[in-house]
Amino acid sequence: MATYRILIAFILVLSCHFLRADFNSILKGESLADYQQLVSANGFFKMQFFSPGKSRNRYLGIFSTRPSLDLYSDVNGGGDEKALWIANRDDPITDTSGSLMIAPDGRLIISHKEGNVTLFSATPTTATNLTAILLDNGNFVLRELNTNSSVNRTLWQSFDYPTDTLLPGMKLGINLRTGHKWSLTSWVNDQAPASGSFTFGLDPNGTNQLMIL
């Protein structure tokens, strides 16, 4: 009898855990571990750690859950779809210790055994109520909330840092004031999503032409 009770308690704990893991957002102080995923409210996009092909490196990526968008189903091997966006393409994690979190000081980071990958660190100290949410268009955004839980402002968004895939709502170009560039950059190869040799974006010489460099 006691064994059953323990078993039932264990199953309850497990199912709560997995229910929570299906949420679309994390709050300050919460984290997304290597084995968990965020799923957008409409179920079209998910965010999780993955290893491309035979690589053992771990990357945090956003994927489409819809087979019709699976343009590259053979790329990653194992029938996995290709990541539409990668948080740490040039900072692979070598084990499964990675976890995405909003640190107590408001930085958005992937914390792992050997250090932290910082996605955003310029959080104003006045911004206390923070949430990072995977939206229905595949954009992952760090937001400050008001006390009534409406959105105060967006501090950072993945759409400002495209990987190699342009999704509806993303843009390409250059912000002439800040110098920020929105461009697409190829993977090195199927096993290595690091920034490769080809970039597609606005001509840096200001001719207003989109070009592949």
- Stretch of 10-18, 71-79, 140-148, 191-199 contacting ligand NAG, by CB under 6 A: 140-148
Strand arrangement, sheet containing 37-39: 37-39, 45-50, 59-64, 85-86
- Stretch of 17-25, 51-59, 144-152, 178-186 contacting ligand NAG, by CB under 6 A: 144-152
Residue choice 33, 69, 75, 145 for contact with ligand NAG (CB under 6 A): 145
- Asked if 96 interacts with ligand NAG (CB under 6 A), we say no
Separation between Cα atoms, residue 170 and residue 179, nearest integer Å: 17
Q: Note whether 99 and 110 are within 8 A (CB).
A: yes
- Asked if 128 interacts with ligand NAG (CB under 6 A), we say yes
In the complex, least distance from residue 126 CB atom to ligand NAG, rounded to whole angstroms: 4
Please give the residues from 172 up to 201 whose contact with ligand NAG meets the rule CB under 6 A: none
Separation between Cα atoms, residue 160 and residue 40, nearest integer Å: 18
Q: What is the DSSP string of 75-109?
A: TSSTTPPPPSEETTTTS-BSSTT-EEEE-TTS-EE
In the complex, least distance from residue 161 CB atom to ligand NAG, rounded to whole angstroms: 20
In the complex, least distance from residue 115 CB atom to ligand NAG, rounded to whole angstroms: 4
Separation between Cα atoms, residue 213 and residue 207, nearest integer Å: 14
In the complex, least distance from residue 99 CB atom to ligand NAG, rounded to whole angstroms: 10
Q: Note whether 68 and 62 are within 8 A (CB).
A: no
- Asked if 126 interacts with ligand NAG (CB under 6 A), we say yes
In the complex, least distance from residue 112 CB atom to ligand NAG, rounded to whole angstroms: 9
- Closest alpha carbon to 167 in 184, 142, 151, 155: 184
Residue choice 3, 125, 148, 208 for contact with ligand NAG (CB under 6 A): 148
Separation between Cα atoms, residue 194 and residue 178, nearest integer Å: 25
In the complex, least distance from residue 125 CB atom to ligand NAG, rounded to whole angstroms: 10
Residues making contact with ligand NAG (CB under 6 A): 103, 109, 111, 115-116, 126-129, 144-150, 152, 203, 205, 213
